[in-house]
């Protein structure tokens, strides 16, 4: 499996999780419930972000004309992380729900941006065996974190 296929598959899984969370958001009654869901999302995205940064994006660091796209993706990660962290200090359940919803929407936009611009570029500049090797590294990380 290529690294781009692995990351796209994770996007699909995360989007499904996000849909379940969005359906639950209106029924949350306490800030702590929203904080729990935000921690779940943080945990999922932290691992994903690490793989993107350390396996996929690093392959594009040498493509200088695309540096602004990489900078934008790193900025997306920081903004999403910031929203999720702000859920921890939200004063009301409504505020926490709004912050969490904004983080989920920003994550979806980020996934779309990657799939439309960055992943095709990665596939263009890397050889097939390199993409597969990075996919194997992803699989090994998944196996290690599951045990």
Closest Cα partner for 56 from 125, 110, 112, 108?
A: 125
pLDDT band at 64 (very low <50, low <70, confident <90, very high): very low
- The domain spans of the chain are 3-142
- Read off φ and ψ for residue 26, nearest 5 degrees: -60, -20
pLDDT at 44 over 60: yes
Q: How far apart are CA 125 and CA 76, in angstroms?
A: 23
The separation between CA 141 and the C-alpha centre of its own chain, rounded to angstroms, equals: 16
Given pLDDT bands bounded at 50, 70 and 90, which one contains residue 147? Answer: low
For the segment 54-77, the average pLDDT, to the nearest whole number, is 71
128-146 helix and 3-24 helix, angle to the nearest 10 degrees: 50
What is the pTM for the complete model shown?
0.88
């Amino acid at each position: 499996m290529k690294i781009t296929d692995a990351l796209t598959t994770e996007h699909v899984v995360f989007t499904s999780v996000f849909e379940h969370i969005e359906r639950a958001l209106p029924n949350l009654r306490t800030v702590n419930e929203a904080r729990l869901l935000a921690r779940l999302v943080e945990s999922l995205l932290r691992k994903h972000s690490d793989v993107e940064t350390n396996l996929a994006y690093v392959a594009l660091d040498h493509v200088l004309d695309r540096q602004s796209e990489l900078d934008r993706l790193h900025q997306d990660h920081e903004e999403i992380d910031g929203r999720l962290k702000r859920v921890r200090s939200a004063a009301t359940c409504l505020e926490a729900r709004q912050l969490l919803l904004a983080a989920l929407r920003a994550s979806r936009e980020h996934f779309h941006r990657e799939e439309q611009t960055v992943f095709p570029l990665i596939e263009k500049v890397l050889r097939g065996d390199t993409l597969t090797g990075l996919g194997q590294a992803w699989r090994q990380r998944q196996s290690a974190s599951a045990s």
